[in-house]
Amino acid sequence: MIDSNLRSSSSQIPGYAPPKGPLIEHQKKLGLWAVKLPSADATVVRRSLSILTNNPSGLQGVSEDPTHAVTRAAFWSNIKPAHFVVKIGTKNLAGILRYIAVGLSIGLLGRFSLGKWLLLNFPWIFSLGLFKKNGPTDEEIASASFKMWFLGHGFSDASHVSDKPNTEIITRVMGPEIGYVTTPIILVQCALTVLKHRGDLPKGGVFPPGIVFGPTDLQDRLQENGISFDVVSKSYI
């Protein structure tokens, strides 16, 4: 079944949907090999965009300040619908093949009780060394970091919409170790943002984080705490 909101959002995207492309691809500009990652991230982004389609100015706050209402509308007026997929990348093809092997191992063994027992008790074997039962050491956490690239293709303006996008933008998000360091930073800053802006946020319910935190100062808070957001390049193609 296709959600009507998602269908509405997709109908707002100019041009044709991008081709699915190969399972494994080489992004020369980034110097990375990548494979599609079956995660919830793409669904969360699509849900945010579908809500925005039906609420072009975003979601009204429960007791919103008039100034914030103007800021909210201005922020969302610059956000356009998009097709979005998530891929995991590494610098060499061998790393991608390793990710695929681990994904297949978890997917197959996770279907039955004995397989789950094996995964939980011998994670370093079935993850080919990516995970271990005791978790990382403090030194490993301190030396780790993450980097996420966003490669976008689109149209310079509505008058240039055609079968082929004419604009490319590359952005990047970087920070410390993603699980034990970055995740707590994000959760704490989200909580502080809710405390500070509660009246400017929607009344309540279940929402994807983007549609709630988009027009707040959450990005500034994250940048002040070691997570950077950068525009790497923007060009016409």
Contact by Cβ (8 Å): 199, 189? no
Overall pTM surpassing 0.85 (yes/no): no
Reduced to 3 states, what is the DSSP secondary structure of residue 204? coil
**pLDDT tens for each residue of 158-187:** 676 766 788 899 999 999 999 999 999 999
Only one residue has tokens 């690239």, namely: 149
- In single-letter form, the type of residue at position 163 comes to D
Q: Distance between CA 227 and CA 173 in Å, rounded?
A: 7
Q: Distance between CA 190 and CA 143 in Å, rounded?
A: 25
DSSP 199: G
Considering its fold, how many domains does the chain have in total? Answer: 1
Tokens matching residue 107:
């997917």
Domain ranges, residue 25: 4-91+136-236
104 in any annotated domain: no
Contact by Cβ (8 Å): 105, 126? yes
115 in any annotated domain: no
Reduced to 3 states, what is the DSSP secondary structure of residue 222? helix
118 in any annotated domain: no
pLDDT in the model for residue 156: 78
Give the contacts of 172 (CB within 8 A, at least 6 positions apart).
147, 148, 149, 150, 228, 229, 230, 232
117 in any annotated domain: no
Q: Is 46 exposed, middle or buried (0-12, 13-18, 19+ CB in 10 A)?
A: buried
119 in any annotated domain: no
Burial 115-126 (b: 16+ CB within 10 A, else e): beebbeeebeeb
Residue 237 has pLDDT above 80, yes or no: no
Reduced to 3 states, what is the DSSP secondary structure of residue 23? coil
125 in any annotated domain: no
- In single-letter form, the type of residue at position 91 comes to K
pLDDT in the model for residue 3: 37
108 in any annotated domain: no
154 in any annotated domain: yes
Phi, psi of 173 (to 5 degrees): -120, 130
CA proximity to 175, closest of 132, 225, 104: 225
Contact by Cβ (8 Å): 53, 8? yes
**pLDDT tens for each residue of 190-231:** 999 999 999 999 988 889 999 999 999 999 999 999 999 999
**pLDDT tens for each residue of 65-115:** 999 999 999 999 988 888 899 999 999 999 999 999 999 999 999 999 999
